[in-house]
Amino acid sequence: MKMKNSFKMILASGMLLLSLNSCKKEALNLTPTNDVTAVDVYATPTGYKNSLVKLYATYALTSPQGAESSDVGGLNSGFADFLRLFWMTQELTTDEAICAWGDVGIPELDYGMPTPDNQFLRGLYSRSILQITFCNEFLRESTPEKLASRNITGADATAITRYRAEARFLRAFQYWVLLDAFGNPPFITEDDAIGKVNPKQIQRGALFTYVESELKAIEADLAEPRSNEYGRADKAADWALLARLYLNAQVYSGTAKYTEAITYSSKVIAAGYSLKANYMDLFRADNNVNNTENILTINYDGINGTNNGGTTYIINAAINADMNPTSYGVPGGGWGGNRTRPNLPNLFPDANGSLDKRGVFFGTKKAVDAVGEFTDGLRVTKFKNITSSNAPGRTLNGTFASVDFPLFRLAEQYLIYGEAVARGGSGGTAGQALTYVNLLRRRAYGNASGDLVAAALTTDFYLDERARELYWEGHRRTDLIRFDKFAGSTYIWPYKGGTQAGTALPAYRNLYPLPLADLIANPNLVQNTGY
């Protein structure tokens, strides 16, 4: 069953966890005023399944009420989707994207210079903590003791044990988001009291260790690779996040773990996944069908689960009315905001994909002379709300998209393996890395004309190849930091540091600031250096 078809289940349970966490701190033992309590919701195995759906749905919806509401306080509902916020902080601050809009906070991201009161950083931070809070609540209510008290035993209890592992995975993923972006966030688990006002701050190295330990601890309880319901985490998703975590371990903890990155990427590669034959079919409205490359996705439904973030945002913000939105599956859309800086198309042999077919751009002007001019810079047309047979995707009012977003896919694991080998990790070989790279390039070129030899696979090669394969999928800022090219003057792109020609960023910009509002509210927090 595709999880996007389970959105109807959210309507029954969607408000529960919000309600449970909205009581005043001085009255935590009172019954919520809507009379829906944990005792009601978790009374049956079906209630646990509905609540699991809620955990996943929080990645794809802005609130249980629909696209016009936000369960992140103080943030416009149009900005409140997890993927939209994550994408903006990973892409707009880099050489891969720039936005023409002047909303407060966007120019700061375009220049790589956000302040502690940037609303989009606050939104991502708050969204991640909200989702962690939901996971914590689920974990409190699904202990063996709680199940026994509700007479849930046998196969039902076994199934809920798996749900618990998935909740811990989703929590670990969000702590990875905070680890990567903010480094030293507040930290709270199911063992902390409900309503704890001022969580303690965890330091980056300790958070790395926590995420690593959680992912290892839940492995045995997760489903075997490719055996779970579509859109739910399994062992392969767990390994994929571990591989990504280890690839960046030097940044996160000060200790390189490239051997471990090879170990866990190899586990994913050996788990029965294979590349989708046509690269562009990965980013179409039917990318849930016969897709053996995606490992875990955020699922979107353009009719039953709408919001102005997700792939709806990625598609609409990259096109305007002059580009015939109907051909992108959103005949009522086209917002004209995001496009690329010249650095990305320059990585391809040409700018129209006739050689490396991964490079799909629209327009004639690479240069970005005016940030506010949408037609300055090539548009990226990688994502489309049409099917692989060019039929329209599901859409409400011709605006919302049904394209699922890949959080993890096999191609990334090939590139993690290769980069970790190039950086000196043990347990892999340069020959195997070359095989994986050439599999990607043969798909990209349609033949062997793009094949490389082993000598070409330098460490720096992988930064460029990751851009060619994974652009606009939310990896670029993390990649540039790992290669020591985000801050400093080693690598400059237009408008980096706020000037058209680009200028160096100070090293402290490798971490985002903790939001000012949370610093004021929680005296346990210390701001990241430099802000």
Whether the predicted pLDDT of 177 surpasses 70: yes
CA dist., res. 108 & res. 118, Å (int)? 8
pLDDT digits (tens, 9 = 90+) for 1-48: 344 444 333 333 333 333 333 332 222 233 334 456 788 899 999 999
With bands split at pLDDT 50, 70 and 90, how would you rate the model's confidence at 349? Answer: confident
pLDDT digits (tens, 9 = 90+) for 273-322: 999 999 999 999 999 999 999 999 999 999 999 999 999 999 999 999 99
Whether the predicted pLDDT of 476 surpasses 50: yes
Q: Per the domain annotation, does 401 fall within a domain?
A: no
Whether the predicted pLDDT of 118 surpasses 90: yes
Q: Per the domain annotation, does 520 fall within a domain?
A: yes
The predicted pLDDT at position 36 comes to 62
498 contacts 113 by C-beta, under 8 angstroms: yes
Q: Which of 63-72, 341-350, 432-441 has the lowest mean pLDDT?
A: 63-72
440 contacts 477 by C-beta, under 8 angstroms: no
CA dist., res. 138 & res. 48, Å (int)? 8
Q: Per the domain annotation, does 73 fall within a domain?
A: yes
Q: Per the domain annotation, does 72 fall within a domain?
A: yes
Strands 98-99 and 379-380: unpaired
Closest to 352 (Cα-Cα) out of 360, 342, 344: 360
Q: Per the domain annotation, does 188 fall within a domain?
A: yes
Domain count, the chain: 1
Strand residue runs (E) in 360-449: 361-362, 379-380, 405-409
Mean pLDDT computed over 471-496 = 98
Whether the predicted pLDDT of 342 surpasses 80: yes
Mean pLDDT computed over 243-248 = 99
Q: Per the domain annotation, does 147 fall within a domain?
A: yes
What is the DSSP code string of 504-526?
-B-GGGGSPPPPHHHHHH-TT--
The predicted pLDDT at position 32 comes to 38
The predicted pLDDT at position 73 comes to 80
The predicted pLDDT at position 40 comes to 87
Residue 74, by phi and psi: left (phi above 0), alpha (psi -120 to 50) or beta?
left
CA dist., res. 303 & res. 84, Å (int)? 18
The predicted pLDDT at position 6 comes to 45
220 contacts 228 by C-beta, under 8 angstroms: no
Whether the predicted pLDDT of 104 surpasses 70: yes
Mean pLDDT computed over 228-238 = 98
**Which amino acid, residue 414?**
Y
Closest to 495 (Cα-Cα) out of 92, 182, 117: 92
Q: Per the domain annotation, does 449 fall within a domain?
A: no
Closest to 82 (Cα-Cα) out of 129, 136, 128: 128
Q: Per the domain annotation, does 529 fall within a domain?
A: yes
Mean pLDDT computed over 383-409 = 97
With bands split at pLDDT 50, 70 and 90, how would you rate the model's confidence at 64? Answer: confident
Closest to 282 (Cα-Cα) out of 147, 523, 443, 99: 443
The predicted pLDDT at position 196 comes to 66
Compute the half-sphere exposure of residue 113: CA atoms within 13 Å on the CB side of its CA: 14
Domain of residue 40 covers 8-221+489-531
Biggest distance spanned by C-alpha atoms of the chain: 69
Instruction: Report the CATH number at residue 170.
Output: 1.25.40.390
Bridge-partner residues for 408, per DSSP?
A: 296
Closest to 327 (Cα-Cα) out of 282, 284, 278: 284
What's the mean pLDDT when you consider all of the chain? 92
How much of the chain, in percent, has pLDDT values that exceed 70?
Answer: 92
The predicted pLDDT at position 10 comes to 39
The predicted pLDDT at position 20 comes to 34
Residue 252 — φ and ψ, nearest 5°?
Answer: -75, -40
The predicted pLDDT at position 352 comes to 66
The predicted pLDDT at position 4 comes to 46
Whether the predicted pLDDT of 66 surpasses 80: no
pTM strictly above 0.85: yes
The predicted pLDDT at position 35 comes to 54
